[in-house]
Amino acid sequence: MKLLASLLFLFGLLTPTQALTADGAKLYAQNCAACHGEHGSGGIGVPLALPAFHALSSEDYLRKTIRHGRPGRVMPAFVALSNADVDAIVAHIGSWNPGPFASYPTTRIDGNADNGSKLFQKHCASCHGANGEGGKGTGVTLSRPREQAIVAPALHNAGFLASASDHRIKAILMKGVAGTPMQSFLKKGLEEKDIDDLVAFVRGFEKSPLAGNGAGQPAADPVIVVESPYDFKTTIDNLKRAAETNNFVFIREQALDEGIVKPGQENPRQHIVYVCNFGLLAQALNTDPRVGLFLPCRFTIIEQGGKVKMMASNPKRLSQIFNNSELDEMCDKLTKMYQTIMDDATL
Ligand code: HEC
Ligand code: HEC
């Protein structure tokens, strides 16, 4: 029930709420503040209130970024907001700094992508990843090494590529984003021509498929079910042993309906077993604090019509809600572990 409540909360947090009139501040508070901070100073998401960010971003870039999101990363795609809502949010972001947003020509920049590729490995890969997959973790304050102030966004990302024009990418490389680790490469010694080559290389990411991305994949089964050849009690004993063999610690066992029915009236043939792998827990929380919602791991064991079944909600399915490819990998691993534990329990 706790998991369900948490998920509902999360949906409440992330689902765009329709407003009768487009009030930018309110819409921002409802849809963006949880990640980017109430005043745009950053959090799970990167800061949006920096003067440099304002000077480098066009309204078109902001509108498109809100619509497309960053599939496979944490930034959601806001498809349900009206155009007026999106405009109001952009205007609200604009109100944090004086002066207009940038405006860029939509023309392509010619460059030598092969040379750009070499420059990218030398100057960019350390932060943005060898394939532009972005830095690990999210935004400013969570799940990342403390020495790096802001996590480098994914450049090999359909949402980014569809939103940023060549000229915006060039401007960022020329000027850097003051107040973030992204520096001016003109100041770091590159020539304008090198920067054009880098832009051509980054644009080339469009030709290859998206970096690991749950979007578009068929939805995983919500629940993993394994039938047991043993009776109810033996199955539970086996499951606990299998969990321990697989480096999980047994936490507790309770009736499925404990706390829901009167004490003593619980169904004795429907139990939950809670287990935890603390190493994995630390690793998972480091990847994304929201995995706290899935934990501790629980198995439900039910005897019905003479058959005993073990069930677990599928972490892979849950992670698809979160739009974070790193978390997807983690949950994939967890799904396999659940499967192994339940299979071992049937041996
Ligand atoms: C669940 C967290 C989350 C929510 C909600 C969210 N964002 Fe983001 N946003 C992020 C993250 C994380 C990034 C960085 C992308 C990356 O790491 O690849 C980002 C990136 C962005 C960028 C690109 C920044 C840049 O440097 O160009 C903009 C613009 C943006 N978000 C605006 C918004 C707006 C406006 C809203 C509300 C309508 C919103 N975001 C809601 C997490 C979020
Ligand atoms: C020291 C780490 C670091 C290095 C090196 C670096 N970047 Fe960045 N980059 C960042 C960070 C952090 C941001 C996010 C800045 C912000 O919050 O606006 C960023 C932002 C960007 C953006 C804007 C992304 C968006 O979502 O709008 C582009 C494009 C970019 N970098 C390209 C490059 C290229 C190309 C190179 C190599 C020439 C490079 N960066 C080198 C850390 C780095």
How remote is the C-alpha of 157 from its chain's centroid?
13
- Residue 34 CB less than 6 A away from ligand 1: yes
Is residue 198 domain-shared with residue 267, that is, in the same domain? no
Is residue 191 domain-shared with residue 331, that is, in the same domain? no
Q: Which of 111-120, 146-155, 263-272 has the lowest mean pLDDT?
A: 146-155
Give the integer Cα–Cα distance in Å for 160 and 193: 23
Residue 184 counted as domain residue: yes
- Residue 72 CB less than 6 A away from ligand 1: no
> Which CATH number belongs to the domain containing residue 266 in this structure?
3.30.310.70
Is residue 240 domain-shared with residue 194, that is, in the same domain? no
- Residue 44 CB less than 6 A away from ligand 1: yes
Is residue 192 domain-shared with residue 232, that is, in the same domain? no
Is residue 111 domain-shared with residue 253, that is, in the same domain? no
- Higher pLDDT pick, 118 / 133: 118
Is residue 44 domain-shared with residue 70, that is, in the same domain? yes
- Where in the sequence is the domain holding 69, given as residue range(s)? 12-207
**Where a domain ends, among 182, 207, 232?**
207
Residue 2 counted as domain residue: no
Confidence of residue 55 (pLDDT cuts 50, 70, 90): very high
- pLDDT averaged over the chain? 82
Give the model's pLDDT for residue 57: 97
pLDDT at 251 over 90: no
Residue 7 counted as domain residue: no
Give the model's pLDDT for residue 157: 85
Atom of ligand 2 nearest to the CA of 202: 35
Is residue 292 domain-shared with residue 188, that is, in the same domain? no
Atom of ligand 1 nearest to the CA of 151: 17
Give the model's pLDDT for residue 214: 39
How remote is the C-alpha of 208 from its chain's centroid?
21
- Going from the Cα of 121 to the center of ligand 1, the distance in angstroms, rounded, reads 26
Is residue 199 domain-shared with residue 285, that is, in the same domain? no
Average pLDDT of the segment spanning 131-160? 68
Average pLDDT of the segment spanning 108-132? 94
Residue 218 counted as domain residue: no
Give the integer Cα–Cα distance in Å for 316 and 332: 5
Q: Is-contact 107 253, C-beta < 8 A?
A: no
Contacts of 233 (CB under 8 A, 6+ apart): none
Is residue 131 domain-shared with residue 235, that is, in the same domain? no
**Where a domain ends, among 180, 207, 234?**
207
Q: Looking at the 3D structure of the chain, how many domains does it have?
A: 2
Look at ligand 2, atom 13, and give the residue with the nearest C-alpha. 152
Is residue 203 domain-shared with residue 79, that is, in the same domain? yes
Residue 20 counted as domain residue: yes
pLDDT in tens, 256-282: 888 778 888 888 999 999 988 877 777
Average pLDDT of the segment spanning 270-297? 76
pLDDT at 185 over 50: yes
The residue assigned the tokens 């972005």 is 134
Number of the ligand closest to the Cα of 16: 1
- Residue 213 CB less than 6 A away from ligand 1: no
Atom of ligand 1 nearest to the CA of 323: 1
Is residue 245 domain-shared with residue 202, that is, in the same domain? no
pLDDT at 4 over 50: no
Number of CB atoms found within 10 A of residue 138's CB? 26
The residue assigned the tokens 């765009």 is 16
Residue 4 counted as domain residue: no
pTM: 0.67
Reference 229, options 69, 342, 122, 323; nearest CA is 342
Probe target for ligand 1 pocket from 44, 46, 104, 157, with the most ligand atoms within 8 Å of CB: 46
Number of the ligand closest to the Cα of 169: 2
Q: Is-contact 102 55, C-beta < 8 A?
A: yes
Give the model's pLDDT for residue 34: 83
- Residue 89 CB less than 6 A away from ligand 1: yes
Residue 133 counted as domain residue: yes
Give the model's pLDDT for residue 313: 80
pLDDT at 24 over 90: yes
Is residue 179 domain-shared with residue 228, that is, in the same domain? no
Look at ligand 1, atom 18, and give the residue with the nearest C-alpha. 153
- Structural tokens at position 322: 């979160």
Confidence of residue 305 (pLDDT cuts 50, 70, 90): confident
**Where a domain ends, among 174, 207, 240?**
207
Residue 233 counted as domain residue: yes
Q: Which amino acid is at 175?
A: K
